[in-house]
Structure 1
Amino acid sequence: MTSPAVGPTAADTPPAAPAAAPPGAGRRRFGAAVWIALGIVYVVWGSTYLGIRVVVETMPPFLSAGARFVTAGLLLAALLALRHGPGVLRATRAQLGSAALVGVLLLLGGNGLVVLAETTVPSGLAALLVAVVPAWVVLLRTVCGERPGRGAYLGVLLGLVGLAVLTLPGLSGEVRTWGVLTVVAASMLWSVGSFSSSRLPLPKNPLTASAYEMAAGGLACALVGLARGEQRGLDLGAVSARSWTAFAYLVVFGSLIAFTAYVWLLHHAPLSLTATYAYVNPVVAVALGALVLGEAVSWPIGLGGAIVVGGVSLIVSTERRSRPPARRPHGTT
């Protein structure tokens, strides 16, 4: 779920955000590189839900998620060491512990449960259910004594209304209730991980932090997969070429290329522009699910999704006007 403002997906670990772009950055003309990077984040992170759905056709959910994130974490760490030297990976015990905790919350609790749910839930519906993450974050901030503002609360209300439409039995088509509730639980855990990451001591380099988070979260997913017995009867030869292709796509494009593009955008574009992926990703996910997998887009999914996206956009716009950005953007899979 590459966590935004919304992740990661959603299904991917969003990085710790550096300082906001300098004043006036939003008024300058952007070069082609900014729009290319933004397009990558829009399309690739939106497509990770489709990729997950294809992976779990012939791969066990938690073991495949564990392999994906451990592989991506090790590749990212190796690339960092090659480019900046091994010193870039240094971290204190407190920083490693925090990164491990955030990685478990985001990737086992958030992404891992989404992968499990997508064995029965359409990829587009999963993306829309995850899109409500910023609403949970606003509520968590309120519990901790912050006051995000009326616009944010209105966005939360819209998000919860949309969530209700998407989760009402019978409205979203032939979808198992447990799968829908699993995605909702995943979005809550992703929110807790995103919220906690801005308050915990993490490595200063966001790429270093995410490498450790992916490794820790991936190991946790693998352990849960083993505890569930996913290894029993697993025949790698029986895994389809389609699932292997989707797995490689998630590792390379979802966890490395799009992630790097996102970090680059945080340094070269206004956060207000970068954060728009929070409400573009679900739209991309629904469109790809319908076009590639033939997933039905019923009127409740369309209506509920539109309400959720509207609520998220209101939260993002309110946040960027009233508050400096947190250390880490909240969300996507």
Structure 2
Amino acid sequence: MSLPATSTRLSVGMLAAFAAIYFFWGTTYLAIAVAIRDIPPLISGSMRFVLAAFVMYVWLRWRDAKPLANVDLKMAALAGVLLSGIGNGFVVWAQQGIPSGIAALTVAAMPVIVLLLDWAFFSKRAPTGQALLGTAVALIGVVTIVTHTRSISGEAHPLYVVALLLATVGWSFGTLIQKRVVQPGAVLSFTCAQMFFGGLFQLFLSVVDGEWAHFDPSAVTWSSLGAVAYLVVFGSILGLNCYLWLLTKVAAPKVATYALVNPVVALLLGAAILGEPLTSLVIMATVLVLVGVGLVVFQGVLNPSRLRSFVSRRGPAIAPGE
């Protein structure tokens, strides 16, 4: 049986890019938890994005004498502050007091914010009923987890929860701004520029937060450095480029569904490697987010006319398992 038709057909490349941000960004929560054991969160974040931007710039400069010539640096700076700066920086900072899986579940509310902001300020197109249903189902799982945070992870300082919520709003605005200003041929250059500005913003925040006063470089372990290197390559260079490329091809609310799948990956890795609790409540939430993302990505599944058309083509009886 073929997949339901969507407004934009998902090519093999698009599916691969979705798989990359679904999996690699799910593992970044674990990598962040390992990195901030020895490196203060905002310092580790600034290292991640500045290094990733430098590596990308060297590669782009090797291919083109003026790799950033077609990039609107003001918009790249704005997107960088919102995405790599606030969106990532506040999540990393909050993981000082919230387990990686719970952080991922909280950020899973982001697709709902993208839907609403896109409707109100950007495309002006109301989301479909199926998209609203899918995000609502996933959000129920997120809210269930957040309201039971104390029973799952002990004390969670309200300031960390507020930081996570601000991160989702910043990332959502940054996502929609990027989708509007980036052309398909400038994805790599724009990503490079926005990562650099986002890294600088996290560096600024690290000074404001006083992280450098208690940072001892000699105490940094190889595991933390390895985690930062993983974040540079898979979280930033690969993940962000796939994300921005998808934004030039697919509706932003669909791309934002990565935040609904990442918690599943993060929770399983957190339980397996960091010993974070995996309760029946958490399992229920993962089921809800998976159902929700399926409804958002595969539009038309619940469209009555499509169902009637499918049944009429196949006949009145549908064999089990089809």
- The TM-score, its normalising length taken from structure 1, stands at 0.76
Equivalence for 2:67:
88
Equivalence for 2:51:
71
Shift of 1:41: 4.3
Mapped contact 1:102–1:197 kept (Cα < 8 A): yes
Higher mean Cα deviation, 244-253 or 208-217?
244-253
Equivalence for 1:148:
127
Aligned-partner Cα distance in 2 for 1:36–1:203: 17
CA gap of 1:264–1:109, structure 2 versus 1, over 3 A, is closer
| Number of residues of Structure 1 aligned to a counterpart in Structure 2 | 294
**What are the residue-to-residue correspondences of 1:109-188 with 2, within 5 Å?**
109-144=86-121, 145-169=124-148, 170-178=150-158, 179-188=160-169
**What are the residue-to-residue correspondences of 1:247-326 with 2, within 5 Å?**
247-259=228-240, 277=258, 279-318=260-299
Equivalence for 2:317:
none
Matched, 1:97 2:74: yes
- What secondary structure is seen at the aligned counterpart in 2 of 1:45? helix
Mapped contact 1:43–1:281 kept (Cα < 8 A): yes
CA gap of 1:222–1:320, structure 2 versus 1, over 3 A, is farther
Shift of 1:316: 2.4
Higher helix share: 2
RMSD of aligned alpha carbons: 3.5
Aligned-partner Cα distance in 2 for 1:34–1:195: 18
Aligned-partner Cα distance in 1 for 2:78–2:243: 22
- Letter of the structure 2 residue corresponding to residue 227 of structure 1: V
Shift of 1:132: 2.3
Shift of 1:77: 1.4
Aligned-partner Cα distance in 2 for 1:321–1:80: 44
Mapped contact 1:99–1:202 kept (Cα < 8 A): no
**What are the residue-to-residue correspondences of 1:35-46 with 2, within 5 Å?**
40-46=20-26
- Letter of the structure 2 residue corresponding to residue 126 of structure 1: A
- What secondary structure is seen at the aligned counterpart in 1 of 2:93? helix
CA gap of 1:136–1:259, structure 2 versus 1, over 3 A, is closer
Mapped contact 1:70–1:219 kept (Cα < 8 A): yes
Gaps of 5+ in 2: 1-5, 304-322
Aligned-partner Cα distance in 2 for 1:310–1:104: 32
- What secondary structure is seen at the aligned counterpart in 2 of 1:294? coil
Equivalence for 1:5:
none
Structure (1 or 2) with the larger CA radius of gyration: 2
Higher mean Cα deviation, 255-264 or 66-75?
255-264
- The TM-score, its normalising length taken from structure 2, stands at 0.79
Aligned-partner Cα distance in 2 for 1:257–1:268: 17
Shift of 1:131: 2.1
Equivalence for 1:208:
189
CA gap of 1:307–1:35, structure 2 versus 1, over 3 A, is closer
- What secondary structure is seen at the aligned counterpart in 2 of 1:199? helix
Matched, 1:223 2:204: yes
CA gap of 1:148–1:319, structure 2 versus 1, over 3 A, is farther
- Letter of the structure 2 residue corresponding to residue 182 of structure 1: A
- Letter of the structure 1 residue corresponding to residue 130 of structure 2: G
- Letter of the structure 2 residue corresponding to residue 88 of structure 1: P
CA gap of 1:267–1:156, structure 2 versus 1, over 3 A, is closer
Quote the sequence identity (%).
35
Aligned-partner Cα distance in 1 for 2:259–2:229: 24
Gaps of 5+ in 1: 1-20, 323-333
- Letter of the structure 2 residue corresponding to residue 197 of structure 1: Q
Shift of 1:126: 1.3
Equivalence for 1:197:
178
Shift of 1:251: 0.9
Aligned-partner Cα distance in 2 for 1:105–1:50: 22
Shift of 1:176: 0.4
- Letter of the structure 2 residue corresponding to residue 168 of structure 1: T
Shift of 1:266: 8.7
CA gap of 1:39–1:143, structure 2 versus 1, over 3 A, is closer
The C-alpha deviation readout for 1:113-164, integer Å capped at 9, x for no partner, is 1101111111112112212211111111232332111112222322332222
Shift of 1:36: 7.4
